[in-house]
Amino acid sequence: MKVCRRVNFNAAHRLYRKDWSDEKNDAIFGKCNNPNFHGHNYVMEVWIEGDIDPETGYVIDLKILKDIIKEEIVERFDHKNLNLDCSEFENLIPTAENIILVSWNLLRSRLDEKFKLKLKLWETENNIFEYEGL
């Protein structure tokens, strides 16, 4: 059985490598290398798979999952500049791929081992990412 909680957060980022020239960063990252940053309205789905608890009838209490997502994801990333405000991206380019990977690791550490965890992240309406561990 799979259950899902969806959240939104808004964040700014810039895709570039300090160890590359401006020309190379422009060639690889294009507009995403704008030195003045740009933002996205991210949408994340957190999917939990597990058995129904016969006592509660729940796979997981979605109120508890909501609070974990708020603490680990929303409070960490919402209305932040991912490059400048978030230590997770001090040495990691804040692409959607890396955002979903970091988020998965943060949430995984908070969830019981009995659950499988899958994340989906929309960076734009048309750019969608999914991760469920290795």
Using the minimum distance from each CB to Ni ion, give the nearer residue, 98 or 105.
98
Q: Which is nearer to Ni ion, 3 or 93 (CB)?
A: 93
CB of 133 to Ni ion, least distance (A): 25
Burial of 43 (0-12, 13-18, 19+ CB in 10 A): middle
CA 5 – CA 12 distance, rounded (Å): 23
Give whichever of 49 and 85 is closer to Ni ion, judged by the CB atom.
85
Element (H, E) at 106: helix 96-108
Nearest-CB residue for Ni ion: 32
| Element spanning 63, H or E | helix 62-69
Residues in the chain: 134
Size, binding site for Ni ion by CB under 5 A: 1
Can you tell me whether residue 37 is helix, strand or coil?
coil
From 38, 75, 79, 132, the catalytic residue: 79
Nearer to Ni ion, 32 or 93 (CB): 32
Q: Which stretch binds Ni ion (CB under 5 A): 32-40, 44-52, 59-67, 107-115?
A: 32-40
4 is catalytic: no
Nearest to 5 by CA among 123, 127, 117: 117
Q: Which of 40, 72, 88, 123 is catalytic?
A: 123
Give me the least distance between CB of 38 and Ni ion, in Å please. Answer: 6
Binding positions for Ni ion, 77-96, rule CB under 5 A: none
Please give the distance of CA 29 from its chain centroid, rounded to a whole number. Answer: 20
Sites of contact with Ni ion (CB under 5 A): 32
**Active-site annotation, residues:** 32, 79, 123
